[in-house]
Amino acid sequence: MKSIVFNLLFMMLITSYSIQAQKNNFYSKNFETNEQTTLTINLDDSHLILQPSTDGKVHVDYSFEFDGYSKKEIKEELTTIKADAVQFKNKITVTANKIRKEYKHYTYDGTGAMFIEGGLSGLFGADEDKKGAVIRKSKDSIIEELRFEKFKSLKFIGDKFKVKEADGTIRNLRDRGSLKIMRGKFIIKLPPYVKLTVKGKQSDLLIKGDVVNELNFDLELGSLKAQKILNDRNKIKVEFTSVKVEQIIGGDYIFNNVDGLIASIADITINSEFSEIELGEINSGVKITDFNSEYYFYNFSSNFKQFNLNSEYSKIHFFEPKADHSFKVFGNNTINYLGDIKVEMQPTQKDEKFNMMERKAKGKGVFSGHINFDIIHGIIYSYTDD
């Protein structure tokens, strides 16, 4: 009798385990395309991965990973998710919402109250202060920083979420208790000629590989991470978003409250405000218009030709280009810190702009380009390698 009870309990244990950890392929569809095909993606609370397609089709795939959820709970979660992809002639529209982003650790106690590990103050620690140690970063070091971000991530391994440490080691979650984790994977593959429009709210967009598609992005409250975005006709507008890209060539960008780290830019116009943006290398054809942001211009390429900055109330960290160049600062009411030296450029009585500072090319070696700052109420921090 005891053995029957034991076997029964054992079977129940196995059964309950199998229903609490599973991967669910929620949606899968693909579409034929041609040169006129456009793809519009509407995202809300989602996490999207874009990848190049090699078979000329647009592929839309959703899957979900559940750990700690009962079969009933999984069913309930899936019923809250709305996703659809339709094609009308050459227009494909994908709509997805409530595909919740990866949850942070949380546990339930006996009464069902929720607690966060470390509490709110621990979870939302202060941002790293860049001002303390501003050093020149190379383009390559930023690429390395982007590819190997030092953060812990959760990996779904063997029907369980496990922690992947910064050094790559995998460990089980400690004190699992009644921890429940759900993660959605939403992957769209598209051929390079398809025009892509993405409207995203509270969504994360990860672009893998080189994207040469014509893009029209309007992203709010989320993140944009990409390797290479290459198209002159791109229109990218991002607000309250983290932007991390290895290379951008071409396009018009609007950054509002953006935390940006971009290794290399060329042939691009940026209109920004209230942002903090690090640029690893500035190439030819770059124009920036800014209000009240903080920029880091780490390097200029050996042939950037001309760089124009128009700004008000901006902080500029300007690292002297290594190759020969000219440098002109026009405007008024600006301070330039050059090491311990402070150069003050007062406004005129009528607040007229004037030629505040000029450095002509030395005429030695290869001339790389002209740097023009038109700046009002600005603060420039200049750095040299001397």
> Using CB under 8 A as the criterion, which residues of the chain lie in contact with other proteins when the complex forms?
45, 100-101, 103-104, 106, 111-116, 119-120, 123-124, 202, 221, 240, 257, 274, 291-292, 313, 315, 333-336, 343-348, 354-359, 377, 379
In angstroms, give the least distance from the CB of 112 to other proteins.
5
Least distance in angstroms from the C-beta of 379 to other proteins? 6
State the minimum distance, in angstroms, from the CB of residue 160 to other proteins: 20
Strand 57-67 vs strand 47-52: parallel, antiparallel, or unpaired? Answer: unpaired
Q: Are 346 and 331 within 8 A, CB to CB?
A: no
H/E segment holding residue 10: helix 2-20
CB of 353 to other proteins, least distance (A): 12
Question: In this complex, which beta carbon is closest to other proteins, that of residue 116 or of residue 134?
Answer: 116
Does residue 132 sit in helix, strand or coil?
helix
Report the 10 Å Cβ neighbour count for 21: 18
Cβ atoms within 10 Å of 272's Cβ, excluding its own: 24
Q: In angstroms, what is the minimal distance from the CB of 258 to other proteins?
A: 11
Residue 29 phi, psi (nearest 5): -155, 150
Q: Which residues pair with 146 in a beta bridge?
A: none
Question: What are φ and ψ of residue 6, in 5° steps?
Answer: -60, -45
Residue closer to other proteins, measured from CB, 213 or 336: 336
Q: Which is nearer to other proteins, 101 or 237 (CB)?
A: 101
Residue whose CB is less far from other proteins, 33 or 46: 46
Cβ pair 357, 336 in contact under 8 A? yes
CB of 240: closest distance to other proteins in angstroms? 7
Nearer to other proteins among residue 6 and residue 108 (C-beta): 108
Instruction: Name the burial class of residue 234, with classes exposed (0-12), middle (13-18) and buried (19+) by CB atoms within 10 angstroms of its CB.
Output: buried
> Which CB sits closer to other proteins, 57 or 101?
101
